[in-house]
């Protein structure tokens, strides 16, 4: 084969080498595209697995706090009901003298090379003033403002956040006052002692003059 600008023929092996070089460049380009797409897919899969694992850890931490708060409420309802800053103040649980107590503030937990922050908030609960007694926050009362505060129900919201999370994980639950401490006490010989509320004492707390203590029980008189 001759080049029109050259009197000498072009060797056939040069044409073959040129074709092979072109095919090699095309193959490398295709391989690069495949590797790029594959690496992106692997990265997305790894990130998805990491996010899923962190969500599972956060859910476990939230449930752990919820169970701790429930234990505190079961031990003494006032430990939860008497908290100040309802709906605003951040609280956490902490062991003290063998029992769980509630203190203000956030809690930081390090797990699997990730730092989690958790706290809980307590809210009062209102119920519709009708035969249903439904929780007013999840039911439209009739009329809308026909509701009352329920001192035996509290709403607990546990929040867990961590770096890289799109938004904090929040779980809500309701605690109910299902038991009260009853003092089986027949001896009231100690008389009036304001502020005494224990079952192991033979005194009683004076509220007004309309309490009959002549028998083995306290009776309110009209």
pLDDT at 106: 96
Task: Give the three-state DSSP class for 102.
Answer: strand
pLDDT at 142: 80
DSSP-assigned letter for residue 167? S
pLDDT at 25: 79
Query: How much is the pTM?
Result: 0.62
Q: What is the mean pLDDT of residues 99-120?
A: 92
Q: What is the band of 146 on the pLDDT scale with cuts at 50, 70, 90? A: confident
pLDDT at 52: 76
Task: Give the three-state DSSP class for 145.
Answer: coil
pLDDT at residue 118 is higher than 90: yes
pLDDT at 28: 82
**Alpha-helix residue ranges (DSSP H) falling in 76-167:** 78-81
Return the closest-CA partner of residue 58 out of 167, 205, 220.
167
**Total count of residues recorded for the chain:** 222
Q: What is the band of 190 on the pLDDT scale with cuts at 50, 70, 90? A: confident
User: Domain limits of the chain?
Assistant: 46-176, 181-222
CA distance 178 to 180: 7
Alpha-carbon distances of 94 from 60, 104, 196, rounded to whole Å = 17, 10, 28
% residues pLDDT > 90 (the chain):
35
Return the closest-CA partner of residue 156 out of 54, 63, 76.
63
- Answer yes or no: are the C-beta atoms of 206 and 192 closer than 8 Å: yes
């Amino acid at each position: 084969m001759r080049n029109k600008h050259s009197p000498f023929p072009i060797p056939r092996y040069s044409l073959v080498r040129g074709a092979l070089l072109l095919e090699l460049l095309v193959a490398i380009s295709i391989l690069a595209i495949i590797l790029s797409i594959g690496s992106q897919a692997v990265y997305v899969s790894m990130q998805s697995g990491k996010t899923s694992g962190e969500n599972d850890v956060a859910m476990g931490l939230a449930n752990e706090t919820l169970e701790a708060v429930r234990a505190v409420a079961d031990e003494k309802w006032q430990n939860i009901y008497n908290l100040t800053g309802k709906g605003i103040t951040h609280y956490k649980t902490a062991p003290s003298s063998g029992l769980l107590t509630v203190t203000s503030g956030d809690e930081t937990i390090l797990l699997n090379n990730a730092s989690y922050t958790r706290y809980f908030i307590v809210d009062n609960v209102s119920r519709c003033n009708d035969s249903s007694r439904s929780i007013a926050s999840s039911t439209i009362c009739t009329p809308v403002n026909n509701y009352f505060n329920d001192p035996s129900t509290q709403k607990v919201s546990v929040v867990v956040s961590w770096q890289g999370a799109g938004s904090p994980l929040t779980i809500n639950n309701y605690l109910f006052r299902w038991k009260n401490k009853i003092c089986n006490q027949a001896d009231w010989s100690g008389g009036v002692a304001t502020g005494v509320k224990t079952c192991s004492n033979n005194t009683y707390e004076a509220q007004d003059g309309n309490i009959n203590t002549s028998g083995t029980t306290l009776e309110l008189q009209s």
